[in-house]
Amino acid sequence: MEHQPGDELTIDLVTGATSAIGRKLVAQLVAMGHEVRAILRTHPSKTNEWMTLPAKVKVYVADLTLKNENDSEVLEDACRDVDNIFHIASAVYNYKNTYDELININVIGTENLLNAYESANKGSSKPVHLIYASSVSVYGYKRQGELLSESSEVKPASPYAESKMMAEQVIKSFADANSKIRYSILRFGTFYGPGYKDSYFKMFKLLEQGRAIYISGGTNNVSLIHEDDAIDALLLAAKVKNPKNETYNISDGQFHTIKSLFELAATALGVQPPKRSVPHVVAKITSKIANINYDELEFVASNRKIDISKAKKELGFKPKHAIEKDGLLLVEEYKKANK
């Protein structure tokens, strides 16, 4: 809802504001007339990332892991009197981060953020709505034969997935202890779109070279979400009046297979789709030869069907983007970049 003259100003705090999702989210919040605050880990004088943010955004420089002397104080300033906290910042890649780093950033960082909120708002009766960007990876990579709803058992099978599950638990614990803290946890599928092209471009190249292969036949299901649909889901969650501490699965609602995705991309590239398939254990051994990292391999090998009916019913979430159209835009972008 856009801010109207005479309305009380909505104050939003965004972590991960310079990420692909964060930049677009911040721009939309500013356009809605909100006061938008962004936490940046690195000082603007040392990076150009802050230049991607609208001029109206109030920037706070602090590391969520509190490794700098004044981080706690800065986080408290950023959290003071906020209405919504969009917590997007996260260490994402297993292949880039150690287990300790993932825990420190994703779990302890979330705890530090909520501690800062509580310290900054002592004595205030104003509630805050925390909208947290989690991941369907908390269900585990292999859930064949199941339709996974928010009540399905979580079975994280990677350090990243474990850290996201633990961050969710931290949020729930704070909300249990402090009724002013209300949350909406959004478990996202794998992002795609202009801001997430690197891994997809790598797959397109393997397809062009005839080096792409299926893992165990390629009939495994994967969950995707276009970056713009993800932002819509975040905004819809923030609009819920009197949020009741809910968790939502967010994907495009389709049950893609790796085989269907490879065939779609191969046709657009004008090449033959893969004809070879290897067991997962063999793929693990040969992935380094193809320059496929841990996270890319697990995506190609994952098998999950995600139920988004709760988000549709309670948030009014309606995915607008389809891989058959927007995925092909990525292929066209790849072609232009490789002329």
Confidence of residue 43 (pLDDT cuts 50, 70, 90): low
In a 13 Å sphere around the CA of 276, the CA atoms on its Cβ side amount to 11
**Distance of alpha carbon 102 from alpha carbon 104, whole angstroms:** 6
Q: What is the fold, at CATH topology level, of the domain defined by 11-192+225-252+305-319? A: Rossmann fold (3.40.50)
What pLDDT was estimated at residue 1?
A: 44
Confidence of residue 280 (pLDDT cuts 50, 70, 90): confident
What pLDDT was estimated at residue 286?
A: 79
Averaged confidence pLDDT in the chain: 93
The mean pLDDT value for 26-47 works out to 86
pLDDT at residue 49 greater than cutoff 70: no
For the chain, give the percent of residues with pLDDT over 70: 95
Q: Write the single-letter amino acid at 43.
A: H
The mean pLDDT value for 2-6 works out to 49
**Distance of alpha carbon 85 from alpha carbon 38, whole angstroms:** 10
Q: Are 141 and 158 in contact (CB under 8 A)?
A: yes
The mean pLDDT value for 136-144 works out to 96
pLDDT at residue 48 greater than cutoff 70: no
What pLDDT was estimated at residue 50?
A: 62
Task: Name the token pair of 18.
Answer: 């310079």
Q: How many residues does the chain have?
A: 339
User: Any idea where the domains of the chain sit in the sequence?
Assistant: 11-192+225-252+305-319
**What tens digit of pLDDT does each residue of 222-254 get?**
999 999 999 999 999 999 999 999 999 999 999
Could you give the 3-state DSSP secondary structure of residue 15?
strand
Give Cβ neighbours of residue 271 (< 8 Å, ≥ 6 apart): 207, 208, 210
Q: Which of 93, 100, 86, 95 is nearest to 57 (CA)?
A: 86
**What tens digit of pLDDT does each residue of 282-335 get?**
888 878 777 888 899 899 999 999 999 999 999 999 999 999 999 999 999 999
The reported pTM is 0.94
- By mean pLDDT, which of 41-45, 137-141, 142-146, 161-165 is the weakest? 41-45
Q: Are 82 and 9 in contact (CB under 8 A)?
A: no
pLDDT at residue 113 greater than cutoff 60: yes
pLDDT at residue 5 greater than cutoff 60: no
What pLDDT was estimated at residue 159?
A: 96
pLDDT at residue 336 greater than cutoff 50: yes
Give Cβ neighbours of residue 247 (< 8 Å, ≥ 6 apart): 134, 150, 168, 184, 185, 186, 187
**What tens digit of pLDDT does each residue of 85-100 get?**
999 999 999 889 999 9
The DSSP secondary-structure symbol of 325 reads I
In sequence order, what DSSP letters do the residues of 106-172 get, joined into one string?
A: IIIHHHHHHHHHHHHTTT----EEEEEEEEGGGG-SEEEEEEE-TTSPP---SHHHHHHHHHHHHHH
What pLDDT was estimated at residue 176?
A: 98
